[in-house]
Chains A and B, each alone.
Chain A
Amino acid sequence: TQLLEQSPQFLSIQEGENLTVYCNSSSVFSSLQWYRQEPGEGPVLLVTVVTGGEVKKLKRLTFQFGDARKDSSLHITAAQPGDTGLYLCAGPTGNQFYFGTGTSLTVIP
C-alpha cells in the first residue's frame, strides 16, 4: 500500500481548461512537496507546503495543504501544453521521503 495516493492517475484536457490533482494520506506529514517530471528526466521540485491550511501560488499553479496536514491539492488554471508531465506529491517520514502514485497530465493544444 502507498502512503500517499494521488488522483486522478491520468488526465487529458484541452488547452485553456482548469484542473485539480489531489494527494491524500491517512498519515500526518510535517510538510508536503510537489514535483513535476518530464519524460527522460528526474522529478524537479515545484513547491513545498509546510503549514496546515497553507496556500501557495506559482503563476497559474495553486497548491494547498490540508488543515490536518494529511492531504494536498494542485490546481492549474488555464492549462497550457507546457504543463504536460507527471506530477508527484511527496512527504518526509523520519529520514525517509515517500512519493505519491503520480498524476500524468496531457494538455492538448
Chain B
Amino acid sequence: NAGVTQTPKFQVLKTGQSMTLQCAQDMNHNSMYWYRQDPGMGLRLIYYSASEGTTDKGEVPNGYNVSRLNKREFSLRLESAAPSQTSVYFCASRIESGLYNSPLHFGNGTRLTVT
C-alpha cells in the first residue's frame, strides 16, 4: 500500500553539486509530476510526464531535468545545485492527465537545502 514513494527524504548539497531525486508509484498511473513548494508560493510545477516516454516543462523548469524511466518511475535531476533550489520537492501521479477530475496522489516530499 505504498502509493507514491520519494527518496531521499532529506538532502543537503553544496552549490554546484548534482543529485537525482527518485520517485516511484505503484498505482499503475499514467501521469507523473514534479512540484516544488516554497513558503507563500503554494506548489509550482517543474516538469510533468503525461505518459510513459513523454516529458514536458511546467512553470519553473530552469535548472532541472527529468527522466521517465518507465511507467512507475519519474526522476528529477539537479545538474548544478544553486541556493535558489532550496525547497521541498513533491512527486505526484494521476491515473490519466486527460481525466480532469482525477486526483493527484502525492509522496511525502524531499527536503533539499543547498548551501
Contact = CB atoms under 8 A, between A and B. Distances in A.
Contacts of B8: none
Nearest to A9: B40
Nearest to B31: A95
B33 A101 contact: no
B42 A31 contact: no
A102 B38 CA distance: 11
Given A33-B103, A90-B104, 13 more contacts: A31-B101, A42-B108, A43-B90, A45-B103, A50-B100, A90-B43, A95-B97, A97-B33, A98-B45, A99-B42, A101-B41, A102-B42, A102-B43
A20 interface: no
A101 B50 CA distance: 24
Given A43-B106, A44-B106, A95-B48, A101 B42 contact: yes
Interface string B47-64: 010100000101100000
Interface in A79-95: 88, 90, 92, 95
B58 A96 contact: yes
Given A30-B100, A90-B104, A43 B43 contact: yes
18 contacts: A2-B41, A9-B40, A31-B100, A40-B108, A40-B109, A41-B106, A41-B109, A42-B4, A50-B100, A90-B43, A95-B98, A96-B45, A96-B56, A97-B94, A97-B104, A99-B35, A102-B40, A102-B42
A6 interface: yes
B42 A88 contact: yes
B92 interface: yes
Interface in B38-94: 40-45, 48, 50, 56, 58-59, 90, 92, 94
